[in-house]
Amino acid sequence: MKNKPISQNTGTVISLRGSVVDILFDDHLPPIHSLLRTGTENQIAIEVFSQLDARRVRGIALTPTQGLERGMLVEDSGGSLQAPVGKGILSRMFDVFGNAIDRQAMPTDIQWRSVHHMPPALAQRSTKSKIFETGIKLIDVLMPLERGGKAGLFGGAGVGKTVLLTEMIHNMVGQHAGVSIFCGIGERCREGEELYREMKAAGVLENMVMIFGQMNEPPGARFRVGHAALTMAEYFRDDEQRDVLLLVDNIFRFIQAGMEVSGLMGQMPARLGYQPTMGTELSQLEERIASTNNGAITSIQAVYVPADDFTDPAAVHIFSHLSASIVLSRKRASEGLYPAIDPLQSSSKMATPGIIGTRHYKIAQKIRHTFAQYDELKDIIAMLGMEQLSPEDHNVVARARRLERFLTQPFFTTEQFTGLQGKLVSLSDALDGCESILNDEFKDYPESAFYMIGAVDEVQKNGGDQVKPEPQTATQQTSGTDES
């Protein structure tokens, strides 16, 4: 294990309050972010958070502090927290200290680097915009992701963030020649174990690294695991010159861990109890995710939205960093329209004619316009019924309902729950299907023929007579996760 003491600078524990430790140094004070070690076998790690005066520092423990007491000797490691990098970390699972947690021996062909880095300079950043296909119809058509950009999956508890993230890993690792890094911040141990098993069974582990700061770990560890994951991603981008897909589940837990650390340190809370430094801390993490001339780090981040309130300060701050926002809707989930993405609330800065092309842009705009019209007509339908609509409005409703069902998709990662075989749909197939529905080429087919299919050819192949269950109640699509 790395991060062991190499310095002769020692201090003494003088105060202990939960995870907050005050240490007295007689020689010289260790700098901010220094890693200190204490305990009977140096098993307790403390990161220096602030220097109180000429002889005292205050640190936050990254490990449980059981057994720690006043008067114990503390050793300065001579550096900051470090993460392992190199080809040897591929197909492995680590904790925040770089220890292997997959019951295998530590890899040998690795280097150790500090988790604290500056973002790439503006002059080094790439300015080219390129689409990053996911194989999920609704995302690729209406809110295309950016290669080297940041996309957020916003949603409350139980609407399918983790399922969507896992499906993206499954779809992308096959067609994505780079490296995938999965960073679990404050997630359940069970989810990490399930993901590891699924990725191993799918045969995609050899180009993947997983790092976890689990829910039961102290806030200091959860706060730093994102920085450790980015250090690994930067190695593959800058040294190996490969594209990296960084998946973060859940970035809200990073803010939550920062809030806990801030509270423990006695800082005055800001709005809704969040830490006053939330914007800075989030920016220090997010700005490191960037495209350079060497390669790109494309990030997809699940974002838990407290009480489904998108005006929450955490959600607002995260929004400002993203190139695409995918908003999950509890109402659509209850109707069985999976993935339960709200097409009118979700957006992408890539959806411009100059980037995605005129045809794609026009189709996307027509779909949004159709959904918006349908949304306005829902109140009339609820009060007066479909009979009161004009023939033109009838057509709008029929088109919107067919589009809604066509943009549902069976996932590979939920086959065991739904019994439906997963489908990966190319962007061209998805656009062709949407265009055909908008042009009323399928107006004689029942709505149920469009539900949970891949390309639109399947409607014609089945002749429209294959009965598929209408989405009345929530299906089992997200029963594999109980996100909270």
Annotated catalytic residues are 161, 187-188
What spatial distance separates the first Cα and last Cα of the chain, rounded to whole Å? 33
Are 213 and 227 within 8 A, CB to CB?
A: no
Strands 297-304 and 244-249: parallel
Q: How many CB atoms lie under 10 A from the CB of residue 463?
A: 9
Question: Tokens in use for 215?
Answer: 């829910």
Residues 6+ apart with CB under 8 A from 474: 333, 334, 335, 336
DSSP string, 193-219: HHHHHHHHHTT-GGGEEEEEE-TTS-H
130 burial level (CB within 10 Å; 0-12, 13-18, 19+): middle
Determine the residue type at 402: R
List own/partner pairs for 124-131 with CB under 8 A and 24 or more apart: 124/292, 124/293, 125/290, 125/291, 125/292, 126/291, 126/292, 126/293, 126/296, 128/291, 129/350, 129/355, 131/350, 131/355, 131/356, 131/427
Residues 6+ apart with CB under 8 A from 164: 136, 153, 302, 326, 328, 339
Query: Closest Cα to residue 337, out of 483, 160, 165, 95?
Result: 160
Query: Cα–Cα–Cα angle for 122, 124, 130, nearest 5°?
Result: 95
What SS3 class is residue 78?
Answer: strand
Residue 222 DSSP class: H
Cis peptide before 339 (omega within 30 of 0): yes
What SS3 class is residue 400?
Answer: helix
From its phi and psi, is residue 57 left (phi > 0), alpha (psi between -120 and 50) or beta? beta
What SS3 class is residue 42?
Answer: coil
Backbone angles phi, psi at 379, to 5 degrees: -65, -45
